[in-house]
Copies of this chain bind each other. A is one copy, B any other.
């Protein structure tokens, strides 16, 4: 008998029907001999509706109170889910983040988990209950106030609980069948990945793949908790994310495994903008001054590229990418620092896309980079920036060619599935 942590997102519990469907699946898992802990998000659009209400009463809702407000969303879904499970004859109890021992720092709206003390959860499952835990929320160690974990918080709750409970697996149920070799909305022949390493998944997540967030994968890797991403609609096996492929998975996969060891997939991201600082004196300290100004404005940047300086002028250009939302703040910060950093001008470009090829295999295959650029070139895609890691290569291109570029790369690396049917989408069709 194992202990399974399952996480269901808002689209899986959007209404009473969804809750009843999820309840059935949970009861099946329990009946097949497992202890089950469930982490649940707020129903459908509840969180957005609550934020709307908050903005109606206050132009800038206070962080502590916004967290108090938003955490009512999971309270509703978890209580309803526990009721639905009990009405199927299986005992169940719901717990808030606080009751489940999810201890965080005090940064409202984006708190970080600092400890998980799941004594009540362990006791509840030991008594034969399914324990339902509110995702996305915790309680501050210092202030005892209710906190929320920010974007992707429910996935992180699930992995953190799985780690604290020493669970056998953390199942993340979503509205797609798993992690794909590319975004199936863009690449019709994208293939569901049966297994992917934590390392490759981290690179995919930070390169624009939205199925799992970087933060959640990072947590799972640190505590070595296998994640199984799968659809709450189809019930098919999804994608396993772990250190090593599970034995039964590799057996199933056969030949396919050979390819997947090389290249996991192609990710793209159109949520970033590019800032170029033109005419920076090419001497020690200038780059540091630029990125100090950016970091003081609390902006996270992604790629950084510095051109070779022109010998005639001793000036260079420095480009970096950052979330579009932070663009105006970055420009403002740099303009303020203009007297200290003697640059010529600033350029801001939000019509860019980033395309990334990810795979642990590439570090021992020098041909991968060449094949990647070759595929882009044949598709007529111009490369503006390049950045590499040991298991990833990313380029920045114009935004309007991103779909062509992703398809070209996907085909070039033999990732296309043999038939369109391999790409199955879950209930909502999204």
Q: How far is the CA of A80 from the CA of B54 in the complex (A)?
A: 6
* Interface membership of A59, Cβ < 8 A: yes
* Interface membership of A75, Cβ < 8 A: yes
Please, how many residues of chain A have a CB less than 8 angstroms from a CB on the other chain?
41
For residue A71, which residues in chain B have a CB less than 8 angstroms away from its CB? Answer: 75
Q: How far is the CB of A138 from chain B (nearest CB, A)?
A: 14
Q: How far is the CA of A86 from the CA of B65 in the complex (A)?
A: 10
Within A53-80, the residues touching B (CB, 8 Å) are: 53-54, 56-62, 64-66, 68-69, 71-73, 75-76, 78-80
* Interface membership of A20, Cβ < 8 A: yes
* Interface membership of A250, Cβ < 8 A: no
* Interface membership of A50, Cβ < 8 A: yes
Q: How far is the CA of A80 from the CA of B65 in the complex (A)?
A: 7
Q: How far is the CA of A61 from the CA of B85 in the complex (A)?
A: 10
Partner pick for A83 among B58, B72, B81, B86, CB 8 A cutoff: B58
Q: How far is the CA of A93 from the CA of B68 in the complex (A)?
A: 10
Within A73-131, the residues touching B (CB, 8 Å) are: 73, 75-76, 78-84, 86-87, 92-94, 96, 99, 120
For residue A54, which residues in chain B have a CB less than 8 angstroms away from its CB? Answer: 79-80, 83
DSSP class of A's interface residues: helix, strand, loop or mixed?
helix
With A75-B69, A99-B144 known to touch, is A80 a contact of B59 (CB < 8 Å)?
no
* Interface membership of A340, Cβ < 8 A: no
With A65-B94, A86-B62, A86-B65 known to touch, is A20 a contact of B80 (CB < 8 Å)?
no
Is there contact, CB below 8 Å, between B68 and A78? yes
Seed contacts A58-B84, A66-B79; 17 additional CB < 8 Å A-B pairs: A16-B56, A16-B57, A19-B57, A23-B57, A54-B79, A57-B83, A59-B87, A60-B87, A65-B93, A68-B78, A68-B96, A69-B75, A69-B79, A71-B75, A72-B79, A96-B146, A99-B144
